[in-house]
């Protein structure tokens, strides 16, 4: 893992990054740099756009920071592991937490699915994207996870690629060693979908549909019932440790 500069503020900018480029700051970014961090002209920050790597940039502006001058690249662009986090959305702060943690754990796609017992019928995609960006800014992440539109679980299962491994976390599964289950010669070369259900669990007809999917692993997360947001973190940690990029760069 490359050495990260955690002392420097990081900003996501939706613009091409190259040496000598000047970028106008949005009002909230100007306020953050000038009024929250108390930075002024001449001081530097790190910027990224999810495409061109990470760059050092100098703040410009007389009364307040109003633009950035791109200086030099500090890290090349990377790629996230091909892990989709598929989940029944939760309410407000718990959904914010779930999104942030999925980004920190390396998910490349966030796919909300609506199930029989899902308690939330509407999902604020802009708020989800804001949480993706905030988590990436704070944790040195260069690539942004894609935020997909919510779909019904049945439609998602109809459309998903059958070559991908589906890790289906189910509190009704037999209790066994989840790490051992994940290491039983599973083929994850075509990507992994990690599915976490709603707080009320899956309906029986949904469970039947899931078990009919090709390349499906029905996984227990241990002897305790976990809240949906906790289950997401636990499942992603297990998948990353057994099949993902926690195993090393090779």
Q: Give the range of the structural domain holding residue 164, as residue numbers without chain letter.
A: 83-247
pTM equals 0.91
Q: What is the DSSP letter of 90?
A: -
Residues 212 and 141 in one domain: yes
Q: What is the CATH number of the domain that holds 234?
A: 3.40.1280.10
| Phi, psi torsion values for 134, nearest 5 degrees | -60, -45
Residues 145 and 185 in one domain: yes
Which tokens belong to 214?
């090709």
Give me the torsion for CA of 82, 136, 150, 201, rounded to 10°.
80
HEC per residue, 43-77: CEEEEECCCCCEEEEEEECCCCCCEEEEEEEEECC
Domain presence at residue 40: yes
Residues 112 and 213 in one domain: yes
Residues 48 and 162 in one domain: no
Q: What is the CATH number of the domain that holds 46?
A: 2.40.240.20
Long-range contacts of 174-179 (CB under 8 A, 24+ apart): 174/220, 175/220, 175/222, 175/223, 176/220, 178/219, 178/220, 178/221, 178/222, 178/238, 179/238, 179/241, 179/242
Residues 187 and 90 in one domain: yes
Residues 177 and 242 in one domain: yes
Residues 173, 122: Cα–Cα separation, whole Å: 29
| Cβ proximity of 59 and 41 under 8 Å | yes
pLDDT of residue 3: 64
Q: Per residue of the chain (250 residues), what is the pLDDT tens digit?
A: 456 777 889 999 999 999 999 999 999 999 999 999 999 999 999 999 999 999 999 999 988 899 999 999 999 999 999 999 999 999 889 999 999 999 999 999 999 999 998 988 789 999 999 999 999 999 999 999 999 999 999 999 999 999 999 999 888 787 678 888 888 877 888 999 999 998 888 899 999 999 999 899 998 888 888 899 999 999 999 999 988 888 765 4
């Amino acid at each position: 893992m490359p050495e990260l500069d955690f002392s420097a503020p990081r900003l996501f900018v939706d613009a091409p990054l190259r040496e000598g480029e000047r970028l106008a700051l949005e009002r909230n970014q100007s306020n953050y740099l000038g009024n929250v961090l108390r930075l002024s002209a001449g001081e530097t920050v790190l910027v990224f756009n999810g495409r061109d790597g990470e760059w050092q940039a100098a703040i410009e502006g007389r009364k307040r920071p109003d633009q950035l001058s791109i200086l030099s690249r500090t890290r090349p662009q990377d790629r996230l592991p091909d892990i989709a986090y598929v989940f029944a959305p939760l309410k407000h702060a718990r959904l914010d937490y779930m999104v942030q943690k999925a980004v920190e754990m390396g998910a490349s796609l966030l796919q909300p699915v609506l199930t029989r017992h899902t308690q939330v019928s509407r999902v604020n995609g802009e708020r989800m994207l804001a949480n993706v960006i905030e988590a990436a800014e704070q944790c040195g992440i260069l690539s942004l996870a894609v935020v997909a539109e919510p779909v019904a679980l049945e439609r998602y299962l109809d459309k998903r690629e059958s070559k991908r491994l589906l890790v289906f976390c189910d509190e009704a599964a037999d209790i066994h060693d989840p790490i051992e289950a994940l290491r039983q010669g599973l083929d994850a070369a075509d990507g992994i979908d990690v599915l976490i259900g709603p707080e009320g669990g899956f309906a029986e007809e949904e469970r039947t549909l899931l078990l009919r999917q090709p390349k499906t692993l029905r996984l227990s997360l241990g002897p305790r019932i976990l809240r949906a947001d906790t289950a997401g973190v636990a499942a992603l940690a297990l998948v990353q440790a057994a099949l993902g990029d926690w195993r090393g760069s090779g």
